[in-house]
A and B are shown apart, each in its own frame.
Chain A
Amino acid sequence: MKKVLALILAMMLVVGALAGCSTDSTDSSTTKSDDKSEATQTKADSKEEPNVLTALMDSNDGWVRNFNPFANGSYQFVNGFMHEHLVLFDTMNNNQEHMWLAEEIISESDNKTLIVKVRKGVKWSDGEEFNAEDVAFTFNYSKDHPTIDRSGDWGEEGKIKSVEVVDDYTVKIVMREANRFHRQDIFLQRMMVPEHIWSKVEDPATYVYENPVVTGPFSEVKSFAPEMVVLSRNPYYWQADQLEVDELRVPQFNGNDGALALLQSGQVDWAHIFIPNAEETYIQGDENRKFWYGMNDGVRVAFNYMTENTDNLKAFNDANFKKALSMAVDRKGIIDSAVFGYLDKTVPPVTGLPSALLGYTDDAAQKIHAKYTVYDIEAAKSLLADSGYADTDGDGFVENADGTPIKFEILSPAGWTDWNDGAAIVAEGFRKIGVDATANAVDLGIIIESWESGAHDVLYTAYGNSSNIWKFYFDSIGDASRVKTPTWWSTTQTNYVNEEINALVAKMPNATDAELEEITREIEFFFTDNMINIPVLYNGNWFVYNTSRFDGWATADNPYCQPALSVHDMKVLHLMNLKPVK
């Protein structure tokens, strides 16, 4: 008896001890390797204290040592801070281009050929030279490996016809179809990889890449633990003079609370996170702690024009009904309550263009549209009444002119709290003018399934970001083939089909500048007249920073680049502008 008891107790102790020991031993091994790399580092860093930048990026449960840029869900610091791009597109300032690993990219007049002039003097972090071979390899690599062809270069509907090396520093890319916007499609978020490493890899999507060879600012893995990744300078970095950050530390966090705890410690310099009630929870009187939530993509109320509810559909197809609804949306209320008033007060233009494409708005159309974005319950009510909507059955809500009822739910993905609150406020406004709408936060999976079935009526959703104006319109409204498919951020969200619009969008790829201006103007006016969606507000570009250790941040007053620390290309340019505070 005693033995069994002792045995059980001993087993429990062992289990506990094992758990303790196992974590213990991994830790001591990492600290050991830490010491080692520090010893080798001392030669390079013999000057003084390194300038350390601590950044919060990528919410996860623990880092896994894999720097593979082709891996599913590859880490955000791999994009830009390690593997660099040929050209950077500023997704906040009209997609302005900043040449990076390319000296120049020439679009030939046939709208099919792109000539890339590769920058000279760039080296990979193992000392090998970066040249046209690597660029061509990067593009051709996904031809043989469809699992990494994430932007659809090859295959049956592929964008690219061929990629060839012209000379050591020139690459010629020929597209399958003429399209003046190909350069954004092809180069946005395209990380360059070294041929001499990856040509030997059999399956790039699953390859575990532990010791990265990159052109970017950080190439050396100083230490790697599930709790924190520490990277240090690339010894061969081509802009070494510009770069004043010697070490990048990326602590693990897996949610807002964890991130906030780290931010409160004051040790974090740069973060991509939304902080509720930031003045009290984060800034706490410290003038070095700052945040700026600039514009991201537009958020809209999207109607499903193929809903199974034909009574609702009658109303959805009436522009006046939607104009009245738009006037019942308390946009300021949404910004103030759902996101504490931190977001830009700008209402997205008629077609909901994201900040990178704001250059394509039309002032006249904007002016007409603006009238319907002013929160005015009385005006909305009278517009509804004038358009034949009345409460004929006395239930307090209006019916169609033919007496059929209107009643719908506004869906948003559960857990996306700012959207859930926004949808609730929208529904409240609709009810105020007598439209029977309710907000419902449901599992994201249900929303995606409803895209396919067409079972939903109204979504509270975003427009999404696109690489260029043609793609934005093609994806959101110009592609009838995607109606009722479970495709993200596309025509699926409205299932709206209009031949006139489709024809206009189809003309864009080969339009001249003047024609393009005319086309985008026509589309804007079409949207103004028909109020296809109700634009509500801009999503935020969560940007939190601390000026106590580094200066030179992009700010609301000096928005020289897209400041958010997420999956986009500009963050490396931002990094180059950071200077240690003396």
Chain B
Amino acid sequence: MKYVMKRLGFYLIAFIAAITLNFFLPRLMPGDPVQMYISELYQSGGRIDEATIRAVEQLFGYNTGEPLIFSYFKYIGSIFTGNWGLSFSNYPQTVLQAMSRGLGWTLFLMGSALTISFILNTVLGILVAWKRGSKFDKGVTLTGQVLANIPAVIVALFLSYTLASTGFFPRGYAVTPLMTYANTFEYIKDVAYHAFLPVTSIVILSLGGIMGMRANMINQLGEDYITLGTAKGLSERKIIFGYSARNALLPVVTTFAMQIGFMLGGALIIELIFNYPGLGKVMLSAINGRDYPLMQGILLMSTILMLSANFIADIAILFLDPRIRTEGKRG
């Protein structure tokens, strides 16, 4: 219990630090939302009057005279009441509405990519560990390591130029824009087709997981209980999947949870490159429009996602690793 409380305390401090940064960082950027709105108006050929600026300021309730610390506490309060405010650039949508549009697609991308990569990493990790030292092992681990260490931008751009620009896969969007669907199945097919390249990019970036699984498996295979099992004449399959893989998987779960945060950042870049309408795109337009409430909302959401993933990993360790449990009891 003490362990849980300690972790909770840590997350609380991390959370407060994160939301404070969320508040101040956007405000340190030059430019304000009203001017950004006017600049968009200029670029699309609208007329700009002094009165336009005054009216827009009034509309946003934008008051440069308000002390920053006052706005800060208002912001902290609003986080907990669930009222994240109105988005400037998607007026009159609220921040939550504007975010939910992109969040669905991002979670879909992340969810599919994580599921695929988890399965792929685990299975490949088990297989290469079993055949360690073989050509297969060397080939897979080397390829995996190389691919996983290429920056997200390059992986995505490479796929975009080779597979999207040549017309095999779409260059953007989550669905075909001018399409009317005959049935739901057709829609799902279209969504999968559009998600293929972004998901593939994320999966490639996560291939480093093979190494983790491989190392754990090799450790397990050297344990006495494996030798005992082999001696007792258990089948190879039973030993790999029934004994060693199950134990080897445990540490992988925690690194996997920590990876979620890292991948969330990578996914944003991938969305930008594949013009995928997820949270990354929403974030970019929020930054360009100096849409403070929306920027804060998205950063807050990412913070919550990352901290929760890590917290879940901590709890998982608690259950999986007897050493921590006993330490907790002793204390």
The residues in B between 1 and 48 inclusive whose CB is less than 8 angstroms from any CB of A are 29-32, 35-42, 44-48
Task: List, in ascending order, chain B residues with CB within 8 A of A17's CB.
Answer: 111
Q: B107 an interface residue at 8 Å Cβ cutoff?
A: yes
Which chain B residues lie closer than 8 Å to A444 at the CB level?
Answer: 31, 35-36, 39
Nearest neighbor of B41 in chain A, beta-carbon distance: A567
Q: Which residue of the partner chain A has the closest CB to B119?
A: A9
Q: Once the chains bind, are A147 and B55 in contact (CB under 8 Å)?
A: yes
CB closest chain-A residue, reference B170: A261
A71-B47 in contact (CB<8A): no
Return the contact of A5 from the options B35, B46, B181, B253 (Cβ within 8 A): B253
Asked whether B31 lies within 8 Å of A23 as measured between CB atoms, the reply is no
Rounded to whole angstroms, the CA-CA distance of A66 and B184 in the bound complex is 27
> Assuming A31-B181, A261-B170, is B104 touching A22 (CB within 8 A)?
yes
**Which 7 residue pairs across A and B have the least CB separation, nearest first?**
A445-B31, A16-B111, A152-B51, A445-B30, A19-B108, A19-B107, A566-B45
Contacts A228-B177, A267-B178 supplied; 15 other A-B pairs, CB < 8 Å: A9-B118, A19-B105, A34-B180, A60-B285, A61-B101, A61-B281, A64-B90, A72-B88, A147-B55, A151-B49, A254-B281, A257-B275, A262-B177, A443-B29, A445-B32
- Chain A residues with Cβ under 8 A from B144's Cβ? none
Give the complex CA separation of A1 and B45 in angstroms: 62
Partner of A251, one of B45, B111, B178, B290: B178
Q: In angstroms, how far is the closest chain B Cβ from the Cβ of A215?
A: 21
Q: Report A461-472 CB contacts with B as 1/0, cut-off 8 Å.
A: 010111100000
**Is A20 an interface position by the 8 A CB rule?**
yes
Which of B205-213, B223-231, B312-320 interfaces with chain A? B312-320
From the candidates B115, B246, B275, name the one contacting A16 in the complex (CB within 8 A): B115
A240 at the interface (CB under 8 A from B): no
Complex interface bits, A1-43 against B, C-beta within 8 A gives 1, otherwise 0: 1101100110011011111101110011001001000000000
The residue among A5, A18, A72, A486 with the most chain B CB atoms within 10 A of its own CB is A72
20 contacts between A and B (CB under 8 A): A1-B246, A8-B312, A19-B104, A20-B111, A23-B104, A27-B175, A72-B91, A72-B92, A148-B55, A152-B52, A251-B177, A258-B171, A443-B31, A445-B31, A445-B36, A462-B42, A466-B47, A467-B47, A486-B35, A488-B42
List the A side residues contacting B93 at CB < 8 Å: 64
Q: Does B140 contact A (CB under 8 A)?
A: no
Which residues 164-193 in B have Cβ within 8 Å of A in the complex? Answer: 170-175, 177-178, 180-181, 184, 187-188, 191
Query: Considering the chains assembled together, what is the distance between the CA atoms of A489 and B184 in angstroms?
Result: 50
Q: In the complex where A17-B111, A61-B101, A62-B101 touch, is A24 in contact with B187 (Cβ < 8 A)?
A: yes
In the complex, which residues of chain A have a beta carbon less than 8 angstroms from the beta carbon of B92?
66, 68, 71-72, 206-208
Q: How many residues of A contact B (CB 8 A)?
A: 86
A58 x B178 contact (CB < 8 A): no
Q: Write out the residue numbers on chain A whose beta carbons fall within 8 Å of the beta carbon of B56.
A: 72, 150
Residue of B nearest to A253 (CB): B177
Does any Cβ of A come within 8 Å of B89's Cβ? yes
Task: Give bound CA distance, A498 to B88, whole Å.
Answer: 38
| Chain A residues near B239 (CB-CB < 8 A) | none
Residue in B37, B44, B53 whose Cβ sees the most chain A Cβ within 10 Å: B44
> In this assembly, does A54 line the interface, its C-beta being within 8 Å of a C-beta of chain B?
yes
Contact of B107 among A18, A148, A462 (CB under 8 A): A18
Cα separation A426 to B32 with both chains bound (whole Å): 29
A155 at the interface (CB under 8 A from B): yes
Take A151-B49, A206-B92, A448-B35 as given contacts and tell me if A257 and B171 are in contact as well, using a CB distance cutoff of 8 Å: yes
Q: Is the CB of A448 within 8 A of B31?
A: yes
A176 within 8 A of B: no
Q: Closest residue to B46 on the A side, CB-wise?
A: A567
A489 to B49 CA separation, bound complex (whole angstroms) = 9
Given the contacts A254-B281, A443-B30, A20 and B51 also touching, CB distance less than 8 Å:
no
Give the residues in chain B near A73, CB-CB below 8 Å. Answer: 37, 40-41, 89, 91
The residues in B between 186 and 242 inclusive whose CB is less than 8 angstroms from any CB of A are: 187-188, 191
CB of A164 within 8 A of chain B? no
Neighbouring A residues of B316 by C-beta, 8 Å? 4, 8
Contact B44–A150 (Cβ < 8 Å)? no
Q: Would you give the 0/1 interface string for B125-137, flagging 1 where the beta carbon is closer than 8 Å to chain A? A: 0000000000000
- The binding surface of chain B is classed by DSSP as helix
Max chain B C-beta neighbours (<10 A), residue from A12, A60, A208, A413: A12
Chain A contacts of B282 at CB under 8 A?
61
A9 vs B111: C-alpha distance when bound (angstroms)? 10
Number of A-B contacts (CB under 8 A): 212
B58 neighbours in A (Cβ, 8 Å): 146-147
Contacts of B253 in A (CB 8 A): 5, 8
Q: List the B side residues contacting A208 at CB < 8 Å.
A: 92
Q: Mark A387-426, 1 if CB is under 8 A from B, else 0.
A: 0000000000000000000000000010000000000000
**A150–B107 contact, CB under 8 A?**
no
User: Contact between A446 and B31 (Cβ–Cβ < 8 Å)?
Assistant: yes
Complex Cα spacing A567 to B52, Å = 15
Q: Would you give the shortest CB distance from B160 to chain A, in whole angstroms? A: 10
Chain A positions within 8 Å of B, measured between CB atoms, are: 1-2, 4-5, 8-9, 12-13, 15-20, 22-24, 27-28, 31, 34, 54, 58, 60-62, 64, 66, 68, 71-73, 76, 91, 146-153, 155, 188-189, 205-208, 226-228, 249, 251-255, 257-258, 261-262, 265, 267, 272, 296, 413, 443-446, 448-449, 462, 464-467, 486-489, 564, 566-568
- State the CA gap A22–B191 with chains docked (Å): 13
Contacts of B101 in A (CB 8 A): 61-62, 226
Contact A150 B52 (CB under 8 A): yes
* Chain A, residue nearest B89 (CB): A73
With A8-B253, A568-B45 in contact, is A449–B320 under 8 Å at CB? no
Pick the contact of B30 from A5, A257, A446 — CB < 8 Å? Answer: A446
Q: Mark B46-86, 1 if CB is under 8 A from A, else 0.
A: 11111111111011100000000000000000000000000
Residues of B contacting A567 in the complex (Cβ-Cβ under 8 angstroms): 41, 44-46
A152 to B320: give the CA distance in the assembly, Å.
67
Complex-state Cα separation, A261 to B170, whole angstroms: 9
Instruction: State whether B178 touches A19 (Cβ < 8 A).
Output: no
Q: Are A262 and B107 in contact (CB-based, < 8 A)?
A: no
CA of A9 to CA of B58, assembled, Å? 49
Q: Please, which residues of chain B bring their CB within 8 A of the CB of A226? A: 101, 277
**Chain B 103-116: CB-based contact to A (< 8 A → 1; otherwise 0):** 11111101110110
- Give Cα A38 to B248, complex, Å: 58
Chain A neighbourhood of B320, CB < 8 A: 1, 4
Distance between Cα atoms of A428 and B92 in the complex (Å)? 45
**What is the bound-complex CA distance between A466 and B48, given in angstroms?**
8
Any A CB within 8 A of the CB of B102: yes
B157 within 8 A of A: no
Contact A76 B44 (CB under 8 A): yes
A568 to B45, CA, bound (A): 7
Q: Which of A5, A17, A73 has the most CB of B within 10 A?
A: A73
Give the complex CA separation of A72 and B181 in angstroms: 33
Residues of B within 8 A of A76 (CB): 44
Contacts of B118 in A (CB 8 A): 9, 12
Contact residues in B for A443 (Cβ distance below 8 Å)? 29-31
Type the 1/0 row for B260-279, where 1 means its CB is closer than 8 Å to any CB of A. Answer: 00000000000000010100
Across the two chains, which residue of chain B brings its CB closest to A567?
A: B46
B177 in contact with A146 (CB, 8 Å): no
B300 within 8 A of A: no
The answer to whether A489 touches B48 (Cβ under 8 A) is yes
Q: Find out whether the CB atom of A445 lies under 8 angstroms from the CB atom of B55.
A: no
The CA-CA distance from A568 to B47 in the complex, in Å, is 9
Q: In the assembled complex, how far is the CB of residue A572 from the closest CB belonging to chain B, in whole angstroms?
A: 15
Give CA–CA (A71, B112) in the complex, Å.
38
> Are B177 and A61 within 8 A (Cβ)?
no
A contact residues around B105 at 8 Å (CB):
19, 23
